[in-house]
Amino acid sequence: MGDVQRNWAGNLVYATKRVVAPASVDELADVVRSAADAGTAIRALGTRHSFNRIADTDGLLVATGGLPADVAIDADRRVVRVSAGLRYGDLGSRLQLEGWALANLASLPHISIAGAIATGTHGSGDRVGTLSSAVAGLELVAAAGDPVVLRRGNPDFDGAVVGIGALGIVTHVELDIVPTFDIAQTVYERLPLDAVLADLDAVTGAGYSVSMFHSWREPDVLDQAWVKRRADAPGPWPDALLGARAAERKLDPLGAPDPEHCTEQLGEPGPWIDRLPHFKLEFTPSKGEELQSEFLVPRRHAADAIAAVRGLAASVAPLVYVTEIRTMAADDLWLSPAAGTGAVGIHFTWKQDQPAVEALLPVLGDALAPFAARPHWGKLFDVAQAAPRMQELYPHWRDFADLRERYDPRGVFRNDFLARLGL
């Protein structure tokens, strides 16, 4: 209880030393009720894969990983009901054993289901939605300690799914599932950036899920494109992509010499759970000690937004391990990065030089503002710069503020991060 608490990357020390891990939903309800009666602020804590203070409080942090690891498949409805604190990789393994799959996964299978959903985290695919778009139902403990169940069609559902921790502590979610499928992954090296910007669809449409990686050391040449095709997709693999050849060896997107921790490539088919992520569950994901930011723009602005980042390459390259570019289909969730529009995410995996990164973020924010860029809720961005634009970026922003007030009138789940956003 008295230990210093840090996030996954180690760049953030939480303001509280009080962390509890309820072992049941009833115990969680008692914790919330007691804290609310005492005027103690609460925030939920998952796998700590956030880089800003969205999960922080000087009150009480509630770790959801101690709740029972429930996984219940309803084959008739094609949904799985799962404990919110479970990691996607653990759920995926269970689904695969039963012949089921999720439509998409993030690059890391290590993240908690509730945390990823609440912050609008996503995988990639022109026709595939964010992780939150797969949510069919939510169960949460609200500010009075009462259970709340929401399903698609409920008037509050679209506002509550990407809830940024403001409405309560999510205990279970229902997720859409599909029959299991195999993926084959091929990496293409050195794509001319001008050709990509001239025909972005040719790259992002080359597979079921596509990620592009750029270190900006050569601003006009993308380092890699990871193309993940369903094994049952018609037609042969292309030998080249906009002139770039398929790699003949396994690669790491961050340029590490040993790519053992990356998922299998070279066109070898395997289960979705072993190919849709970039990194294997049994290894430390990505770089480990790193910082992350992401800006998500409407698909129609993608080429101009990427070109704007290229204009800052001299400033970005010394600080970044890699920039990843991914796509997602539109949804109707109020605070989703793809709310009302197909979107393209421009993600930055930074070296752990927080002062330098934070100095650059307002410059990036200014460069991307003309393209309606939405910052990822769980990653580093200039909150003061972004806050005045929230109503412009999210048409349902005031609706969400009203929803937060209705679910949490005493501000039990409010923290400085929400307050700075005007919530």
Find the CATH number of the domain harbouring 342: 3.30.70.2520
Instruction: Measure the CA–CA gap between 97 and 196, rounded to whole angstroms.
Output: 38
Asked, for residue 260, whether it belongs to a domain, the answer is: yes
**Looking at the structure, do residues 348 and 243 belong to the same domain, yes or no?**
yes
Task: Give the residue numbers spanning the domain of 165.
Answer: 66-180
pLDDT of residue 262: 87
Q: Are residues 155 and 96 in the same domain?
A: yes
Looking at the fold, whether 375 and 267 belong to one and the same domain comes out as yes
Q: Which residue has the tokens 């996964």?
A: 105
d(CA 116, CA 48): 10
Amino acid at 91: L
> CA-to-CA distance for 274 and 297, rounded, in angstroms?
28
Say if 398 falls within a structural domain.
no
Q: What's the confidence (pLDDT) of residue 372?
A: 98
Same domain membership, residue 281 and residue 291: yes
Judge contact between 8 and 49, C-beta under 8 A.
yes
Integer CA distances (angstroms), 223 to 189, 271, 374, in order: 6, 26, 25
Residues 6 or more apart whose CB falls under 8 angstroms from that of 260 comprise 283
Same domain for 118 and 223, yes or no, is no
Which residue among 147, 180, 213 closes a domain? 180
Q: 261 in a domain, yes or no?
A: yes
Cα separation, 423 vs 404, in Å, equals 8
In a domain, 423, yes or no: no
The predicted model scores a pTM of 0.95
218, amino acid identity: E
Domain-embedded: residue 412:
no
> Do 196 and 305 lie in a common domain?
yes
**Same-domain pairing of 124 and 52:** no
Residues 239 and 379 in one domain: yes
Instruction: Tell me whether residue 149 is exposed, middle or buried, using C-beta atoms within 10 angstroms of its C-beta: 0 to 12, 13 to 18, 19 or more.
Output: exposed
Q: Give the count of domains, the chain.
A: 3
Same domain, yes or no, for 365 and 250? yes
Tokens of 245: 């050849």
Question: Does 129 share its domain with 49?
Answer: no
Query: How wide is the angle at C-alpha 419 spanned by C-alphas 418 and 423, nearest 5°?
Result: 70
Picking from 159, 180, 201, the residue at the C-terminal end of a domain is 180
Indicate whether 87 and 56 sit together in one domain. Answer: no
pLDDT at position 282 is 74
The reported pLDDT for the residue numbered 1 is 44
State the DSSP H helix or E strand holding residue 83, giving kind and residue range, or none if neither.
strand 79-83
Neighbours of 26 (CB within 10 A): 12
Give the model's pLDDT for residue 382: 97
**Does residue 195 sit in the same domain as residue 337?**
yes
- Whether 361 is in a domain gets the answer yes
Average pLDDT per 10 consecutive residues for the chain, totaling 423 residues: 76 90 96 94 92 94 92 98 95 97 91 95 96 98 95 98 98 98 97 97 96 97 97 87 93 86 92 93 70 97 98 98 98 98 98 96 98 98 97 98 96 97 96
User: 301 Cβ partners below 8 Å, 6+ apart?
Assistant: 344, 371, 372
